[in-house]
Amino acid sequence: MSTAFKSLIKCSVTSAILSLSAAISSQAVAQTPNSNATKQPNILFILADDHRWDLIGKYHPIIKTPNLDELANEGAFFKNTFVTTPICASSRVSILTGLTERTHDFTFGQPKTGQFESQHVYPQILKQNGYLSAFVGKYEIKLSGESTDRFDYFKPLLQAKINEYEGKSIPQSYYIAELAMDFIEQSKTANKPWTMSVNFWNPHAHDRDTEDQYHYPAEFENYYQDVTIPPAKFSTDKAFNNLPEFLQQSIGRVRWEYRYGSEEIYQKMVKRHYRAISAVDKAVGKIVKKLEDVGVADNTVIIYTGDNGYNINERQLAGKWFGWEEDLRVPLIIYDPRNKALSGKEPSAMALNIDIAPTILNLAGVQTPKYYQGKSLKPILNGQVPDDWRNEFFFEHMYQPKRVSIPPTVGLRTESWKYINFYKNDFQQLYDLRKDPEEEHNLAYSPAYQAKLQALKARTEQYINQYETERSEEVKQRGSFHNSSPEHQ
């Protein structure tokens, strides 16, 4: 065999191998989750702390949130979004697990969330189904198992005014954005879809800093200087004096003193709170720009919400634990660049924090656990509200610290009624939301409304029994950290 012929055969074989290799490689790329064939999106979930529903620039006459406004204009803003527990630790576990506090049984001072609940948080499910999974920012919860079970990139942070990044001190909200952008940059070569939770500490108060409370980048110092913040609803002495004594003596009143205790303090602190929200908005804009720079913006779903609402001098109280609308309601923006029909929609269907996990899994095309108590919002995003969609929800606040007074609650909100039971303090509230949307007139002790009161109370007890029955065996066996039911107090 001639040398030339051997060379020809060698080249032909090499060429065939290279062609076959290219074909296999091409097929592998076509089958990866992030390809056009499967169209699995990246999913960016952004959570702000204590950001209540009405403090979005698009809907508010003073606050400036241009980046969130743009997401809301290009996506959907769910106008009736609530949390099932208005306190950060419990709400954040509910977001991850799709379960109410009554079922996952976690809040501050609790043991770790059970093995079963922890193994089925949505980031771990996505990670097991081919997604890269990341977490950046405020964590402050305890899940069983290892963080590596859930996250490929895990950057939990304690609250701070500034953090060090590449040799420079920068405001924490921007630091969180930088860590998020680092992950987006690193994920470019992974050839996999990703999900990332970006949890901002802002606009949460720095509780020990009674002088300033809220912190933000220096560039926002002049924001809102030339405006006068209008009075909060029911912020008169008369409204406060109408509250029961246990609320007047709660931590909500203690914090009120240094947040809103005079007109001067009120103006200062509300403006600082607004600036902290504007700082989150600026950080969100940085992350969105990074998506565009990396070239993945057209396949990245962005979800923005808050972990609970916030009292800002309503009834001369501070905090978020009481069950009024300002405590329970949060913003919810879902922007899906693949869904052009979504632009500017404002769904009125009742959405909950426990809907986040099933919605994310549904958007990713991953099967949702049947035991999730929330529902996917994807049908609503597609313009179809299911016939069996909820028209009421159960809420509660079970945290009972020893050092301060935070009265626990259970309650029920329907489309037209609100029932709140401060069961440790033998005090109930009933509001007709159609006639009294601001919740000014408590009807619980009016003889004309006793039938309605008892009906809503009974319905609340049904939810308690249902959600306790749906606990995992581990949670059932260890027993709730709390007394299980108002009827057993």
Amino acid at 197: S
In-domain check, residue 47: yes
Residue (of 320, 317, 310, 312) closest to 239 by Cα position:
317
Which pLDDT value is given to residue 35? 41
Q: What are phi and psi of 422, to 5 degrees?
A: -85, 80
Note down pLDDT in tens along the chain; length 489 residues: 443 333 333 343 334 333 333 333 333 333 333 443 347 999 999 999 999 999 999 999 999 999 999 999 999 999 999 999 999 999 999 999 999 999 999 999 889 999 999 999 999 999 999 999 999 999 999 999 999 999 999 999 999 999 999 999 999 999 999 999 999 999 999 999 999 999 999 999 999 999 999 999 999 999 999 999 999 999 999 999 999 999 999 999 999 999 999 999 999 999 999 999 999 999 999 999 999 999 999 999 999 999 999 999 999 999 999 999 999 999 999 999 999 999 999 999 999 999 999 999 999 999 999 999 999 999 999 999 999 999 999 999 988 877 778 999 999 999 999 999 999 999 999 999 999 999 999 999 999 999 999 999 999 999 999 999 999 999 999 875 554 455 433
Which pLDDT value is given to residue 445? 98
Please, are residues 95 and 374 in contact by the beta-carbon 8 Å criterion? Answer: no
Parallel/antiparallel/unpaired status of strands 332-335 and 351-352 = unpaired
Which pLDDT value is given to residue 399? 84
Q: For the domain that residue 290 is a member of, what is the CATH number?
A: 3.40.720.10
Please, are residues 157 and 139 in contact by the beta-carbon 8 Å criterion? Answer: yes
Single pTM value for the model: 0.91
In-domain check, residue 360: yes
Which pLDDT value is given to residue 488? 39
In-domain check, residue 425: no
Buried/exposed code over 316-344 (b: 16+ C-beta within 10 A; e: otherwise): bbbbbbbbbbbbbbbbbbbbbbebeebee
In-domain check, residue 116: yes
In-domain check, residue 486: no
Buried/exposed code over 267-276 (b: 16+ C-beta within 10 A; e: otherwise): ebbbbbbbbb
Which pLDDT value is given to residue 84? 98
**What is the extent of the structural domain holding 203?**
42-391
In-domain check, residue 400: no
CA distance 175 to 217: 11
Q: Is 18 exposed, middle or buried (0-12, 13-18, 19+ CB in 10 A)?
A: exposed
Tally of domains in the chain: 1
Q: At which residue do the structure tokens 């859930």 appear?
A: 150
Angle, to 10 degrees, between the axis of helix 251-260 and the axis of helix 263-294? 90
Amino acid at 161: K
Neighbour tally for 357: CB within 10 Å? 27
Joined tokens for residue 121: 């948080």
In-domain check, residue 32: no
